[in-house]
Structure 1
Amino acid sequence: MTYFMYDVHGDAVDEPDAATVRTLVVDGLADPEVANPEVSLTQESGWSLTAFAGGLLLWENVEDEAAEALTLDEIDKEEAARLFALLAAGEVEEIAALKWQQSS
């Protein structure tokens, strides 16, 4: 599976390894220099996770306009990093099985 991430500065990172994914999520979201930190990982299937510093996690398929965007709230940075690693590994079903809420 191919995938890429955007860091908190909006820079693309192609297929980062597990340690880099964790760093981009955990350290990036804690960066006090960034006004509204968010990071995202998108897999070739179109499934994408976006994590925001406030604990919001967005799950969507950016290739399918009919697919509904879903959210989880109060997700800590370590859990977000774990979910990003799952998506990087292609574990879409495991992520989709979480108790997502409809995005407003």
Structure 2
Amino acid sequence: MTYFMYDVHGNAVDEPDAATLRTLVVDGLADPEAVNPEVSLTHESGWSLTAYAGGLLLWENVEDEEAGAATLDEVEGEEVVRLFGLLAEGEVAKVAGVGWQKSA
């Protein structure tokens, strides 16, 4: 399984372990000096999660435009970390099974 993340400063991090993933999400989104208001994780399958400061999550397949994007709003930090962890493990179906709202 291969995945990578972008932190709030735009730096790519290849296959961070669980502790680093948590730090990138929780501490990153709380960083008042962040260059970007989001962190993202992209799995080798093409599926990607982007978390924005404020609790918005974007779920999309960056390699398949027809898959369509979906969002969740007001997602708590621990749930964001859980979903990022699932995607990092390749558990695409589990992440997809959350109550996403399809984007227009």
Normalising to structure 2: TM-score of the pair?
A: 0.96
- What is the identity, as a one-letter code, of the residue corresponding to 2:29? L
SS of corresponding position for 1:54: coil
Deviating beyond 4 angstroms after TM superposition, the runs of 4 or more aligned structure 1 residues are none
- SS of alignment partner, residue 21 of structure 1: helix
Residue 53 of structure 1 corresponds to 53
SS of alignment partner, residue 34 of structure 1: coil
Answer yes or no: is the 8 Å Cα contact 2:9–2:36 preserved in 1.
no
Q: Which runs of 5+ in 1 are unaligned?
A: none
- Secondary structure of the residue that 1:86 maps to in structure 2? helix
Amino acid at match of 1:94: K
Tell me the TM-score normalised to structure 1 length.
0.96
Distance in 1, matches of 2:62 and 2:35, equals 25
Distance in 2 (alpha carbons) for counterparts of 1:98 and 1:25 = 19
Displacement after TM superposition at 1:32 (Å): 1.0
Identity %: 77
State the SS of the aligned residue for 1:99.
coil
Residue equivalent to 1:32 = 32
Alignment partners' CA distance in 2, 1:29 and 1:100 = 21
Aligned length, in residue pairs: 104
**Cα distance in 1 between the residues matched to 2:78 and 2:39:** 13
